Amino acid sequence: MFVKTVEFVVSAYREDDFPQALHGEVCFVGRSNVGKSTLLNVLFNRRLAKVSKRPGKTRSINFYKVNNRYYFVDLPGYGYAEVSKSERVHWKNLIETYFENRNDQIKLSVLLIDCRLSPQENDKMFVEWSQYYRVPVLVVLSKVDKLGHQEISRKIEVVRQELGTDVIAYSAITKRGVSDIIEKINRCLV
Ligand SMILES: Nc1nc2c(ncn2[C@@H]2O[C@H](COP(=O)(O)OP(=O)(O)OP(=O)(O)O)[C@@H](O)[C@H]2O)c(=O)[nH]1
Ligand SMILES: [Mg+2]
């Protein structure tokens, strides 16, 4: 397993809370409830990141130190309608601030998209930011245990066309795609 040690470092609510840079970081983004924190726990092989059935669980930027060398960064989910508008704006600003501040540190951003939904404006915007900052993006189609084979293939094609990126089909339940995600992260962190 490529994660040998992992420790939670900080929940950042503003730029001042961001920890000192290490040797690179991988961030996990996507709308609320898509499964970002769950994927981190799968990669850590531990229940460290908080997961919830209710969207909007992760409200701060959570930094996890991996192998004493890298940060894996759990970003708050965007686009969740039931929190107040001001809170949504705060999350968006926080994610933007993170990206502007750390783009030279970010070796890969992992964008999760729920396989039952289509890419949203925020997903597209995120891909554009990443391209602007020349940060590689890996799109992960999450929760594919919820769909049949044909639907998954069709969805992969739709997302690939709409976002113009590589797509990995993934499930935390069946563990499909996990080794491909690990391989991609490994390649980006050398
Ligand atoms: N069926 C299925 N459920 C999943 C999968 N991954 C996550 N979930 C469930 O989806 C819900 C949300 O997961 P989280 O990991 O908390 O999602 P998140 O993206 O971190 O959400 P926020 O913190 O609100 O942004 C939880 O009930 C998880 O158990 C998956 O691959 N398949
Ligand atoms: Mg979360």
* DSSP label of 57: -
| Distant-in-sequence, close-in-space partners of 114: CB < 8 Å, separation ≥ 6 | 30, 31, 33, 34, 35, 141, 142, 143
41 lines ligand 1 (CB under 6 A): no
Is the CB–ligand 1 distance for residue 31 below 6 Å?
no
- Atom number of ligand 1 nearest to Cα 75: 25
Q: What is the pLDDT of residue 81?
A: 59
Element spanning 113, H or E: strand 106-114
Mutate to test the pocket of ligand 1, among 51, 91, 116 (most ligand atoms within 8 A of CB): 51
What's the distance, Cα to Cα, between the start and end of the chain in Å? Answer: 16
Q: What pLDDT, on the 0 to 100 scale, is given for residue 59?
A: 79
Identify the pLDDT of residue 145.
98
- The residue whose CA has the least distance to atom 7 of ligand 1 is 35
Burial (CB count <10 Å: 0-12, 13-18, 19+), residue 27: buried
Domain residue spans in the chain?
Answer: 6-189
**Phi, psi for residue 55 in degrees, rounded to 5:** -60, 155
Residue 177 in contact with ligand 1 by CB distance below 6 A = no
Phi-psi region of 177 (alpha: psi -120 to 50; beta: other; left: phi over 0): left
Q: Which residues of the chain have pLDDT under 70?
A: 1, 79-83
Cα 39 to Cα 29, 51, 72, 112, 157, distances in angstroms: 11, 10, 11, 9, 22
What is the Cα–Cα distance from 44 to 49, expressed in whole angstroms?
9
Q: Does the Cβ of 67 fall within 6 Å of ligand 1?
A: no
Answer whether 31's CB lies under 8 Å from 75's CB.
no
What's the pLDDT at 57?
A: 72
Alpha helices in the chain (DSSP H): 36-44, 85-102, 121-132, 149-163, 178-189
Q: How far is CA 187 from CA 41, 125, 136, in A?
A: 20, 25, 11
Exposure on the CB side of residue 169, measured as CA atoms within 13 A: 19
6-189 fold: Rossmann fold (3.40.50)
